[in-house]
């Protein structure tokens, strides 16, 4: 992915794989294309009130609220183990403002074992946190500042909770991002009408899982055509067929999220099946299928969904 070299295109998404240690009994971690640990923040965060997760039709809602022990604890307690595993470690960071992002980017630039940064400018569970990913000017400025603060490859992780994802992606590219990760969760809600209460303690949360895959595919397709930097596809991926759909739609690599919870071995199953799926298209390499979707000609379609270039 540009300056970032991955041994294969199957990564695990931030917040759905712990700090990898938790998964070691079920997953051969050395085989993964990349590991994205839970987003870290400058200071420890206690997260949102419980309940923090709710099952939905074909997915789940979460409002974890970036519960984490802060960057220094992460570097001392988790990074040495993550770095010992072999796959590139893409560290996800979130700040309350530009300065926090910049301070963390500069700190991680000096930390051994970090292959790249993923800027989480898309978490729906942190008050104010979503602004960077919904305002193109803020997005470009933030990425540019992080870019100046560190030499590592930078991925901007975008929120789907916008009207024009291509505009935000172009802003991230203009700011100097090496790649785009998308999508994060869709803001949603679950209601227990008998109690007249929301099921999540925080009221609202992020929807993920198979339910969001069509939205993610559509956005990956739009963004891959709007920018010239590589795209990491995320959203509802649970099988090798899902992976192939994202690659053909324009993703250079993918991240698996919610599926890790209900089938922890899913990434291994996908890795086993990927060469066969590529062979079905006559492809020997992932790059041969990326962005090869034959979209229906414009005359065959109608409506605003296809109005993007």
Ligand X SMILES: Cc1cc2nc3c(=O)[nH]c(=O)nc-3n(C[C@H](O)[C@H](O)[C@H](O)COP(=O)(O)O)c2cc1C
CB of 309 to ligand X, least distance (A): 25
CA 6 from centroid of its chain's CA atoms: 15
Tokens standing for residue 294? 């034959």
Catalytic residue among 123, 139, 150, 301: 123
Residue 182, strand partner residues: 233
Q: Which residue is nearest to ligand X (CB)?
A: 15
Supply φ then ψ for residue 124, to 5 degrees.
-80, -5
Question: Checking phi first, is residue 204 left (phi over 0); if not, alpha (psi -120 to 50) or beta?
Answer: beta
Shorter beta-carbon distance to ligand X: residue 67 or 306: 67
CB of 155 to ligand X, least distance (A): 10
Shorter beta-carbon distance to ligand X: residue 171 or 184: 184
Residue 63, strand partner residues: none
Distance (Å) of CA 184 to CA 61, 199, 258, 299:
12, 21, 11, 32
Is residue 123 among the annotated active site residues? yes
CB of 242 to ligand X, least distance (A): 9
Asked whether 53 and 61 are in contact (CB, 8 A), the reply is yes
* Residue ranges that bind ligand X, judged by CB under 6 A: 13-16, 38-39, 60, 62, 64, 66, 92, 120, 123, 157, 184-185, 208-209, 212, 234-237, 256-258
Shorter beta-carbon distance to ligand X: residue 54 or 102: 54
d(CA 84, CA 105) in angstroms, rounded, equals 21
CB of 188 to ligand X, least distance (A): 12
Shorter beta-carbon distance to ligand X: residue 69 or 296: 69
Q: Which residues are catalytic?
A: 123
């Amino acid at each position: 992915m540009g300056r970032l070299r991955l041994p294969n295109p199957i990564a695990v998404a931030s917040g759905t794989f712990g700090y990898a240690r938790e998964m070691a009994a079920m997953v051969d971690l050395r085989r993964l294309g990349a590991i994205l640990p839970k987003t870290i923040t400058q200071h420890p965060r206690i997260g949102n009130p419980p309940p923090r997760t709710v099952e939905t039709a074909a997915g789940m809602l979460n409002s974890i609220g970036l519960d984490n022990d802060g960057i220094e604890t992460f570097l001392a307690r988790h990074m040495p183990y993550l770095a010992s595993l072999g796959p590139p470690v893409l560290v996800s960071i979130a700040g309350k403002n530009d300065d926090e992002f910049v301070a963390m980017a500069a700190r991680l630039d000096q930390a051994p074992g970090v292959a790249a940064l993923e800027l989480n400018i898309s978490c729906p569970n942190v008050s104010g946190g979503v602004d960077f990913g919904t305002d193109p000017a803020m997005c470009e400025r933030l990425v540019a500042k992080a870019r100046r603060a560190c030499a590592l490859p930078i991925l901007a992780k975008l929120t789907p909770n916008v009207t024009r994802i291509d505009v935000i992606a172009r802003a991230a590219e203009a700011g100097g991002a090496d790649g785009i990760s998308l999508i994060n969760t869709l803001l949603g809600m679950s209601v227990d009408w008998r109690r007249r209460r929301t099921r999540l303690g925080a009221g609202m949360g992020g929807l993920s899982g198979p339910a969001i895959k069509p939205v993610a595919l559509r956005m990956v397709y739009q963004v891959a055509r709007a920018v010239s930097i590589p795209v990491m596809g995320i959203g509802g991926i649970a099988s090798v067929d899902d992976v192939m759909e994202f690659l053909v739609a324009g993703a250079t690599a993918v991240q698996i999220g919610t599926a890790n919870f209900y089938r922890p071995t899913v990434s291994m199953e996908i890795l086993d099946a990927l060469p066969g799926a590529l062979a079905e298209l006559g492809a020997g390499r992932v790059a041969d299928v990326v962005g090869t979707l034959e979209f229906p000609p414009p005359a065959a379609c109608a409506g605003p969904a296809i109005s993007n270039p």
